[in-house]
Structure 1
Amino acid sequence: MGKKNRHRFHKKKQGGGGFIDEDEIMSLNINGEDKHCNAKSNAKLRKRMKKLQKKREKREEKNHHRDKQSGKSVGWHKIEVNGSEALEKNFLYTSIGSSLDLQFQPLGFHKIDNKCYFFLENNEPAASAIRSLNKRIQDSNGNLLKISSSKVPCPGFLLNSDQLQVLRETMARRFNATSCLLDLTDLHHDSALVERDILAPLAATDIMKQVVKVIKENVPHLKALNLSKNSLRGSIFSLLQGIHSGPSNLFALNLENNGITNMGDLAHFKMFPITELSLQFNPVVEMYKNKPLKYIELAKRNFPRLKLLDTVDAEAYLAENSKHPTVLSSIQSGATLSTAGTSSSAVSEPLVRSFLEQYYALIDAPDRNNLLAAYTPDAVLDIKSNLAAIVSSTFVGQEKIKEALVTFPRTQHQHSTFSFNIQFPSPSTAEAVVMGQCQITGLDAVVTFARTLKIVPFNAGLCCSRDVLELR
């Protein structure tokens, strides 16, 4: 071993003040915390970051190969069909579907003369099965169709004016003006786009640019953005920096169920005043499942105002990590009603909304026993009914409320009809009014309801101390 290599080996063995984690290097560089380094040190850092980038790309390629070996479907496939005449979409889909036992969802159908094509997402078995139908399906002239399948990058074609108008209308429908929330969950599978063969995956650069432009022009006061289930990762996030031309009000960001593999991707959102972030069901969460403190610290480094990370109170965890080292175990399993909040006495709107979401997920379940944890021991449930089939009653304490929950008829709430009004009489109390419609077993007509819940901190989470349900 040469002198230079011996020195390098010795330095590495001793620690040498180097970085342990590539995300730390990324965060350090972006945060500007290396400003005291000289030019030589900066050059070394850039060189090391390039090596780490190559290492990351190899790791992602390895993960992709592993997914493929395990039978997990990944990526996009383009299906091309050639016939002796112009093919109609319904004829083609019906012919292929009747020849397969596998389910598939075709996206972005296009035809040019006697050729057509469409795409499949994350369904390699279906792509292979469709390819096997080559020259086994006839068109209306009795000629065999030539069918091929090829793996392609995420397809993204610039939308024309008519398609862009449909996209605007779709985004408008997904925007809640009351909370300034734009929900772009699984956008390219929206029925309005699929029915018109508009392929608009947010993971495609050109599509993301058009979506960002729509947001910038139409939602200047955006406060919450849901980008879950869009297969987003890496540099595509940098395009979102253009959603505001001036100061941003974006405080809540949902990135669940995407392809985020390192915390450095979060740096693209640093200019936003994020206080609530969700990264659940991303590869990066699995990477840090045994290192929750480091996970929160890296998130905090990018978002100094961050309070809520994956339903966990980030500030409380950092202050009390020695007491609760496994608090993030709820990330994958999901927090229960009794542990979904914060250990502090303050009640925030994001926590209240999380409480309500879980409450209405449990209230329609066949077994409502888990819903009992939503009430304090001395809670009051007051049912005021104008319906002949349901008697107005008042129940005090968990035992009586349990009886009421068990005996009350099965319900199915229509979440699309909901409206919310959340007020905070004090820092430690919230009053939420939920209005909407629901179907009650035994009643033919849909019932209109208004539910007023007084929500307070209890144990490590939030609970309801008074519940007034009005039916009419």
Structure 2
Amino acid sequence: MPKRGGGRNRNWKADTDHFEHDDRVNSVPRHVSFKPGAKGKNKFRTWKNPLALLDDDIDMGSSALQGPVRKSSFRGRGRMYSPAPQGSHGHTKKKFIPGVLPWYQIIIPYGAKHEKDVILRALLGFLSPDIFIPHYYKVNGNAAVFYVDDVKTAEKLYNADRKITMSDGFKLIVIVRNAVPNMAIDAAMKEKMKLTMAKRYNATTKALDLTKFHADPDLEDIFCALFRPMIMLAAIDIIAENIPDIEALNLNDNKLHGLQHLKVLSSKLKNLKILYMGDNRIPFLGSLDPIRSLPLVELYLKGNPLVNRFHDHEIYISDVRKKFPKLTRLDGADLPPAIGFDVAEDMGLPPRQQSFLVDPAGQDLVREFLTQYYAIYDSESRQPLLEAYHENATMSMAANYLTNDSRNSTTTRLNSYISNSRNLTRITERESRRRYLRTGKLQVVSFLSDLPKTTHDLMGFAVDLLVFTPAMIVLTMNGVFKETNTPNNPMRSFHRTFVIVSNANGGFSIINDMLYITNTTKEQEDKAFSTGTVEPIPPTPAPTPTPTPTLAAGTPDDSQKMQLLNMLGQQTGMNEHWSINCLQETGWDLQRAMFIFNQLHSEGKIPPEAFVK
């Protein structure tokens, strides 16, 4: 019996080289060299581009040295500088390393000496009771080559190396590499794919079953794996050309991973409503984004890694439904009806409005209340606001920065507000929360008086009247204001809520005041104190008289005129003569008078003598 001699060349290429002799008795003896700088050294040491593996073979059990041999300082018997022993019999223990691709090439050197059935029977006997399917079995030179599409099978075949003794006494060599078969999409291949699809198509249900398409017996001589984008796109073209009205497609068990190329499904298979993609390798739910435009009513994803990422099945269903809103069946189970609104799909949203009034009857009251309140609030003294608050009123303020603010900028600092902010996410202690809550109208007005002096953009207010009853009014507003006594007059954005109740004198008092302050956005700054004609509360038809708290309309009397005159003077700084002219021209409408003043003042059209008192 001839001696084996030598060792295995792990970099032998099955598709290009072959073993020319069955015995090696007269072969030239090999010489082992450890000289540094040998050509081809560390050729396959690292792989930085996994995509390169699509066309190259990798030796899964390479035992080549991974670096130059170091000189040893060992001084004992034997040659100096000899490499240290590597395990028993001078060999390192081999280890199977799974590849990044789902296909493995199995090479049997000298496999041509035996029939295909003999080789496969020997391998199946070693793997028993497990079985495997060899794909694309062929003989290259003196070697037998085939492919498997399962990593567990590949590892077991890798461990079968030199453990199977054939009838001639030689041990069977098994080389495992992570590689895919070569392919060339031509007319002949497309024709075979078309014929194979034809037998898998059910015209009655308009369903095409491509489950494990590459393993179909009619395709055993060609590589037709749908996980390769080129092959999948060719298959979609065949479907679109021959059965464009297809409604159901089964792609189970095809080792699908990336789905980016499947975005063509929505344009080429417009009637597709049922899609099965179970037992594949789809990693994340986001991988389904390329096909989310499909009007799917049934989807099957079980057996993919993405399903195992969800520990809560209800969240899994909810997230899948967000991508496919029309889904009624998922992973073989019916879904409960989706919660929706019984409206037409093409119905648009109602037009946007700046303010909302739950009851139009409150329009005049809200307008006058805001005008009077902010006329005093923006004046030199806020003490008159004592008359606006209830004896047991409470007030809180919160302040925070916008996420994109630079706190180092002088104009964006909120130091005057942050120090007194009752932000409940920041103030967690009960005593501190109580301390930052102002109780009683004296504390409220005293706190408001300490805040920076301001000028509000009344015409830019967005006002919502949420509750309007004879006993209580809930009013919210948001807008912008400028700080008048702060350098550079920084602009702020605010949101405020008033809860107003009736008092014993027949009027109304604020019993709860909540204020939130932050910096303005660029859009708010561009629109603030503009010269537009938008009013904070849009005009509405006069309501039918109801027993609600409204003020009498009409020309104000002398006492009311004097009150409006004082408010306008405090707000604008104009003298009495110019204030009277402004109010007379606007029909004693304080809000409109303020608007005209702001417009003319921003244009520099108000002379200096208007402010001489």
How high is the TM-score relative to the length of structure 1? 0.45
Q: Which has the higher helix share?
A: 1
How high is the TM-score relative to the length of structure 2? 0.35
Q: Which has the higher strand share?
A: 1
